[in-house]
């Protein structure tokens, strides 16, 4: 498929290119000794960490950086562009790392898959539930390896802890509760202003809803606005939701979602809640005793948290309890709260191992630890939780159809309208 074909966004309701590729790179396309050539899409704060890990490897090389902020184009050893389609058009590129604002994650990843590029996409992998499904389909159609940026999936401590849960160390796990508790900053109240000369704001907004430039809606501020972010549930809570869901052992969407929350503390421009309590219920196969529950707590105005960790999860089984944190902590209790010793070495979430797993899978054709199927299930919980708080009520969800039942207003938030914004790409 040529570059011009890849520049088509199809349909206002989907607006993601899904044209079938020809001559694309397949899974396992790189031999063990070959260097994997990588393009970075988005060169902000998160990209810095990912680049640092890639630059330490002998089997991968960054050859492109796509960034709409001129001040972030600093590495003279690589090619730079303000339009990531130039990266996708380069046949020398084997894979891309996507570290953009959330609203670009799925569109950029889908276009990369259509161009035959393997993808490491930061969390959450999508901005809506529908986008996640489209990304799965694009990865399967093009046989590309897509790794979701939830590093706990490649962290040995987490893998070993989940194996303990699977072995029945606390019996049958019925309930998981995770939390995201920290003191965020007030972003203030601002008015639209002049776009800085260094920023291509047209391509920063891209296919999302157009809002006039406002300083606290870009840089890290985009996390807190509906058109561009997913709130802190999708920003930071997604990690804890991921290993809570993993340990709970559920491999489908929930059947019911209930939530309360809102802005309890911050009197500023943020649209997403600073306080959330979300409940997800899973029917399993519908038989007696197979239901499970996942609970998410968020308080962005507190420095008091369970087990002295801002980020963690508790698993409740029929024979005990496990506390687990991506900060490198684990504790297991048997019945009647009798402490049980476990031989698991503490380890914080590990980006280096996650990058290594992705590159290994590009060569082998194996599924990565955080395959896009897993990323979609976890990211969808963030979207559904945010929708429930925004709607002010709970709802039932059809896991197979991926539709909210009998709630048309809430159901519309599973997707969104997209803006036609691309003419011809800018020159390199």
- In the prediction, which pLDDT does 400 show? 98
87 contacts 81 by C-beta, under 8 angstroms: yes
Average pLDDT over the chain, rounded to an integer: 92
172 contacts 247 by C-beta, under 8 angstroms: no
Instruction: Name the residue range of residue 178's domain.
Output: 153-187+210-350+381-404
Nearest to 272 by CA among 206, 217, 311: 217
Question: Does 142 score more than 80 pLDDT?
Answer: yes
Q: Give percent above pLDDT 90 in the chain.
A: 86
From 9-13, 73-77, 147-151, 291-295, the region with the lowest mean pLDDT: 9-13
The DSSP string of 330-382 is EEEEEGGG-EE----------HHHHHHHHHHHHHH-PPPTTBHHHHHHHHHHH
Does 158 share its domain with 177? yes
User: How many CB atoms are located within 10 Å of the residue 401 CB?
Assistant: 9
Does 111 share its domain with 258? no
Question: Does 94 score more than 60 pLDDT?
Answer: yes
CA 391 distance to own-chain centroid: 22
Structure tokens at 380: 């969808």
- In the prediction, which pLDDT does 174 show? 98
116 contacts 24 by C-beta, under 8 angstroms: yes
218 contacts 204 by C-beta, under 8 angstroms: yes
The CATH number of the domain holding residue 394 is 3.30.360.10
> What is the tens place of the pLDDT at every residue in 21-75?
333 333 444 555 689 999 999 999 899 999 999 999 999 999 999 999 998 877 7
The CATH number of the domain holding residue 357 is 3.40.50.720
- In the prediction, which pLDDT does 31 show? 55
- In the prediction, which pLDDT does 30 show? 54
342, 369, 396 — which closes off a domain? 369
- In the prediction, which pLDDT does 421 show? 87
Structure tokens at 43: 């060169």
Question: Does 6 score more than 70 pLDDT?
Answer: no
Distance of alpha carbon 10 from alpha carbon 16, whole angstroms: 6
- Determine phi and psi for 398, rounding to 5 degrees: -90, 105
Does 182 share its domain with 318? yes
User: Is 136 exposed, middle or buried, given 0-12, 13-18 or 19+ CB atoms closer than 10 A?
Assistant: buried
Does 287 share its domain with 336? yes
Helix (H) or strand (E) holding 50: helix 45-55
Does 267 share its domain with 284? yes
Question: Does 7 score more than 50 pLDDT?
Answer: no
Does 321 share its domain with 365? no
Angle between helix axes 237-248 and 372-391 (nearest 10 degrees) is 110
Question: Does 20 score more than 50 pLDDT?
Answer: no
Residues 6+ apart with CB under 8 A from 52: none
Does 11 share its domain with 63? yes
Question: Does 422 score more than 60 pLDDT?
Answer: yes
- In the prediction, which pLDDT does 4 show? 44
Distance of alpha carbon 427 from alpha carbon 13, whole angstroms: 29
Helix (H) or strand (E) holding 281: strand 275-282
**Inside any domain, residue 416:** no
CA 343 distance to own-chain centroid: 30
User: At 49, is the secondary structure helix, strand, or coil?
Assistant: helix
The DSSP string of 64-124 is EEE-SBGGG---TTSEEES-THHHHT-TT--EEEE-S-HHHHHHHHHHHHHTT-EEEEPSS
Nearest to 60 by CA among 427, 308, 360, 382: 360
Question: Does 228 score more than 80 pLDDT?
Answer: yes
- In the prediction, which pLDDT does 86 show? 96
Distance of alpha carbon 293 from alpha carbon 174, whole angstroms: 7
Does 248 share its domain with 294? yes
Does 253 share its domain with 277? yes
Does 239 share its domain with 117? no
- In the prediction, which pLDDT does 75 show? 77
Higher pLDDT, 421 or 230: 230
**Inside any domain, residue 414:** no
> What is the tens place of the pLDDT at every residue in 307-330?
999 999 999 999 999 999 999 999
Structurally, the chain folds into a number of domains equal to 2
- In the prediction, which pLDDT does 45 show? 87
Radius of gyration of the chain (CA): 21
- Residue keyed to tokens 């019996």: 171
> What is the tens place of the pLDDT at every residue in 202-211?
999 999 999 9
Does 93 share its domain with 168? no
User: Is 281 exposed, middle or buried, given 0-12, 13-18 or 19+ CB atoms closer than 10 A?
Assistant: middle
**Inside any domain, residue 204:** no
Structure tokens at 162: 């989940």
313 contacts 244 by C-beta, under 8 angstroms: yes
- In the prediction, which pLDDT does 8 show? 46
Long-range contacts of 88-93 (CB under 8 A, 24+ apart): 88/3, 88/6, 88/39, 88/112, 88/115, 88/117, 89/3, 89/6, 89/115, 90/39, 90/63, 90/64, 92/37, 92/63, 93/37, 93/38, 93/39, 93/63, 93/64, 93/117
Does 147 share its domain with 158? no
């Amino acid at each position: 498929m040529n570059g011009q074909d890849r520049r088509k966004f199809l349909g206002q309701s989907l607006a993601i290119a899904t044209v079938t590729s020809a001559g694309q790179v397949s899974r396992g396309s790189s031999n063990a000794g070959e260097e994997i050539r990588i393009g970075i899409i988005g060169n902000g704060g998160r990209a810095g960490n990912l680049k640092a890990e890639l630059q330490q490897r002998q089997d991968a090389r960054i050859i492109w950086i796509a960034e709409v902020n001129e001040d972030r184009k600093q590495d003279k050893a690589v090619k730079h562009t303000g339009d990531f389609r130039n990266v996708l058009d380069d046949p020398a590129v084997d894979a891309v790392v996507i570290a953009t604002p959330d609203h670009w994650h799925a569109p950029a990843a889908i276009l990369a898959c259509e161009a035959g590029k393997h993808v490491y996409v930061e969390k959450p992998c999508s901005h809506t539930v529908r986008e996640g499904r489209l990304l799965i389909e694009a990865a399967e159609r093009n046989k590309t390896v897509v790794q979701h940026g939830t590093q706990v999936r490649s962290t040995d401590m987490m893998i070993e802890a989940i194996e303990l849960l699977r072995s029945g160390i606390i019996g049958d796990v019925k309930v998981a509760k995770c939390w995201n508790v920290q003191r965020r900053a007030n972003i203030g109240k601002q008015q639209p202003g002049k776009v800085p000369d260094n920023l291509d704001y047209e391509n920063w907004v891209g296919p999302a809803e157009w809002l006039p430039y406002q300083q606290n809606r870009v840089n890290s501020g985009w996390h807190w606005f509906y058109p561009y972010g997913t709130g802190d549930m999708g920003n930071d809570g997604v990690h804890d939701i991921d290993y809570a869901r993993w340990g709970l052992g559920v491999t489908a969407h929930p059947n019911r979602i209930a939530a309360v929350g809102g802005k309890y503390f911050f009197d500023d421009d943020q649209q997403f809640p600073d306080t959330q309590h979300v409940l997800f219920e899973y029917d399993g196969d519908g038989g007696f005793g197979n239901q499970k529950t996942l609970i998410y707590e968020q308080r962005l105005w507190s420095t008091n948290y369970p087990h002295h960790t801002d980020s963690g999860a508790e698993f409740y089984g029929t024979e005990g309890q496990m506390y687990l944190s991506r900060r490198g902590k684990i504790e297991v209790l048997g019945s009647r709260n009798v402490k049980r010793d476990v031989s698991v070495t503490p380890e914080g979430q590990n980006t280096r191992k996650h990058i290594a797993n992705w590159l290994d899978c590009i060569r082998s054709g194996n599924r990565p630890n955080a395959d896009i199927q897993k990323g979609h299930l976890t990211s969808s919980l963030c979207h559904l939780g945010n929708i429930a708080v925004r709607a002010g009520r709970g709802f039932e969800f059809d896991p197979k159809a991926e539709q909210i039942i009998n709630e048309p207003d809430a159901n519309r938030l599973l997707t969104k309208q997209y803006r036609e914004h691309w003419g011809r790409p800018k020159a390199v």
